[in-house]
Amino acid sequence: MHAHALLALGLLHGALAAPANTRAPDVVSQNGYRSAPYHGPYSGTPTVLGAAKASKTLAPSIAPKPPNPTATYYNAAGVPTQPMPAPYVPAGGLGTNGTLPRYMVNSDWDFESIALGVYQEYIELDLFHDGLARFSDDDFKAAGIGPEVRSLIEFMANQEVGHATLLSNMLGEAAPKQCVYNYPYRTVREWLDFMQRLTRFGESGVWGFLSHLDSREVSQMLSQSIAIEARQQMVFRQLAGLAPMPVWFENGWPQSWQWTMLAPYISSCPAGQTRLAWQNFPTLHILNNPNINRVDANNTRPDGSEQAGNRITDPSSSNVTQGDACMTANGIGKNCQAALARNRTEPLSYPGKKVYFSWDNPGQHVGPNNSYVTSTTAGQPKFVGWSNQLNLTYSPLTVTGQNRGWTTQPGGMVFGDDGVINDTMAVMLTDLDLFVTPFNTTMLNPHIVALGLYQAG
């Protein structure tokens, strides 16, 4: 990369004056490479309320339109159709005509997306370090986590210093700062489980907006960091004794889904913190969300009691009776200690499973300083939307009472025998079974009543 490209990234601060490689580039982490001294709830009163807004909002939602008139290219012969700009350079592409790269966000869309990314990188930095600091050698030993694995987790935590720095540099001086967090886990296993959930919404949130960014340069940089986040997600699944990647495609989500799942774990942020424009949906509680600590997750009690807490992506409770616990079970298909790959004889979830829900009303205060307010523009809930792989598929919701209902988990394949519903994935109540595909998933947001995270595999 050229020096001016690096300068734009802020990666050469100070380095121009000094001989090369004598000084490490500046990083943004306030707590250094450590967990914060305080974790817990926020008890004060927020000084502002609600998502960031521009002075004007033009319409209540984005109207669907016909295909882009220029999106017509088709090449049946398989040979270049246009004059080539240079030898070995086929015509087309973005940022391929020799213009100088500018590694900065290039629209409000870009800014808000990368700012969300900064909030995510900072919680990961703190969270990965926090478990390492919180639990004892004996706790780790009991969870099957040895010293080399702890070193790996520490390395992953430090990767977040780089990610937070990179993203902050591409935003400039208004980049959000590190906050104070409030975590749900009580054991090493719940920590690992929470991390595989948190990195799922971190990863999928980025896949959702990456190809919509105006700045292709920022997209390039973000791709190179999300490749690492994806590896972290898989490692945490392995450490939790789950199948590493029970899908053929990772799913992309709208930013508001990511923010909905992230915000409840942020208790307060520094004064003057840059706020986000994304929506916080009400929480969908999955009352029998499969408990990953059971040999047979089908036995998870259907009353919500097998989550470590009541928040949207809280881990499964690791407090499972001896005979039911997969950590102490013997044999292939039953044991779930940390491993490269685990099979489950009894699947965590399956088509035909009855899934029970309760959901929150909008209007709850969540996130940094309780200063964001959950909202929905949808009507009465009628469907359950299952978003995974390349698909968003629906099943009918049976409402059984005030904010209570159930559905039957649908089947369906992506390609071949690759079941759509598997992995750690998003589910939601909607008022309409709107057809959306990976590039227009955000069109569903106005129809979402409540959002949750399902542990399908």
Ligand X SMILES: *[C@@H]1O[C@H](CO)[C@@H](O)[C@H](O)[C@H]1NC(C)=O
Q: Determine if 377 is a binding residue for ligand X (CB under 6 A).
A: no
Q: Determine if 434 is a binding residue for ligand X (CB under 6 A).
A: yes
Binding mask 61-80 for ligand X (x = CB under 6 A): ---x----------------
> How many residues lie near ligand X (CB under 6 A)?
42
Judged by CB under 6 A, which stretch of 25-33, 104-112, 394-402, 417-425 contacts ligand X?
Answer: 417-425
Contact with ligand X (CB under 6 A) among 10, 25, 95, 446 = 95
Q: Cβ-count burial of 43 within 10 angstroms (0-12 exposed, 13-18 middle, 19+ buried)?
A: exposed
Contact with ligand X (CB under 6 A) among 3, 16, 48, 174 = 48
Q: Determine if 435 is a binding residue for ligand X (CB under 6 A).
A: yes
Judged by CB under 6 A, which stretch of 8-16, 76-84, 283-291, 407-415 contacts ligand X?
Answer: 407-415
Which residues touch 373 (CB under 8 Å, ≥6 apart)? Answer: 49, 50, 280, 362, 363, 364, 365, 366
Binding mask 227-266 for ligand X (x = CB under 6 A): ----------------x--x--------------------
Of 350, 342, 347, the C-alpha closest to 420 is 350
Nearer to ligand X, 64 or 87 (CB): 64
Nearer to ligand X, 153 or 428 (CB): 428
Q: Determine if 146 is a binding residue for ligand X (CB under 6 A).
A: no
Query: Would you list the DSSP string of 64-114?
Result: P-PPPTT-----SS-S--S--SBTTB-S--SS-SSPPP--S--SHHHHHHH
Contact with ligand X (CB under 6 A) among 337, 375, 377, 391 = 391
Q: Determine if 47 is a binding residue for ligand X (CB under 6 A).
A: yes
Min separation Cβ 245 and ligand X, Å: 8
Binding mask 325-364 for ligand X (x = CB under 6 A): -------xx---------x--xx--x--------------
Judged by CB under 6 A, which stretch of 92-100, 232-240, 255-263, 358-366 contacts ligand X?
Answer: 92-100
Looking at residue 418, the DSSP 8-state letter turns out to be -
Distance in angstroms (rounded) separating the CA atoms of residues 37 and 249: 38
Q: Determine if 420 is a binding residue for ligand X (CB under 6 A).
A: yes
Nearer to ligand X, 154 or 350 (CB): 350
Q: Cβ-count burial of 48 within 10 angstroms (0-12 exposed, 13-18 middle, 19+ buried)?
A: exposed
Query: Would you list the DSSP string of 242-270?
Result: S-S--SSS-----HHHHHHHHGGGEEE--
**Is 357 in a helix, a strand, or coil?**
strand
Contact with ligand X (CB under 6 A) among 120, 215, 255, 268 = 268
Looking at residue 62, the DSSP 8-state letter turns out to be P
Distance in angstroms (rounded) separating the CA atoms of residues 332 and 338: 13
Radius of gyration of the chain (CA): 23
Q: Determine if 219 is a binding residue for ligand X (CB under 6 A).
A: no
Nearer to ligand X, 15 or 453 (CB): 453
Cα-to-chain-centroid distance, residue 87: 41
Judge whether 195 and 308 are in contact, CB under 8 Å: no
Min separation Cβ 77 and ligand X, Å: 26
Nearer to ligand X, 153 or 290 (CB): 290
Query: Would you list the DSSP string of 268-297?
Result: E--TTPPP-----PPBEEETTPPPTTBSSG
Distances (CA, A) of 36 to 122, 124, 137, 204, 457: 11, 12, 20, 26, 32
Which residues inside 153-212 make contact with ligand X, applying CB under 6 A? none
Nearer to ligand X, 15 or 115 (CB): 115
Nearer to ligand X, 197 or 353 (CB): 353
Which residues inside 284-303 make contact with ligand X, applying CB under 6 A? 298
Cα-to-chain-centroid distance, residue 331: 32
Looking at residue 11, the DSSP 8-state letter turns out to be T
Nearer to ligand X, 154 or 214 (CB): 214
Distance in angstroms (rounded) separating the CA atoms of residues 179 and 176: 9
Q: Report the run of H or E that residue 392 belongs to, with start and end.
A: strand 391-396
Judged by CB under 6 A, which stretch of 19-27, 31-39, 102-110, 410-418 contacts ligand X?
Answer: 410-418
Nearer to ligand X, 32 or 352 (CB): 352
For the record, the structure tokens of 436 come out as: 């959306």
Q: Determine if 369 is a binding residue for ligand X (CB under 6 A).
A: yes
Q: Determine if 440 is a binding residue for ligand X (CB under 6 A).
A: yes
- Site residues (vs ligand X, CB under 6 A): 44, 46-48, 64, 94-95, 97, 99, 243, 246, 268-271, 298, 319, 332-333, 343, 346-347, 350, 369, 371, 390-391, 393, 412-414, 419-422, 434-437, 440, 443, 457
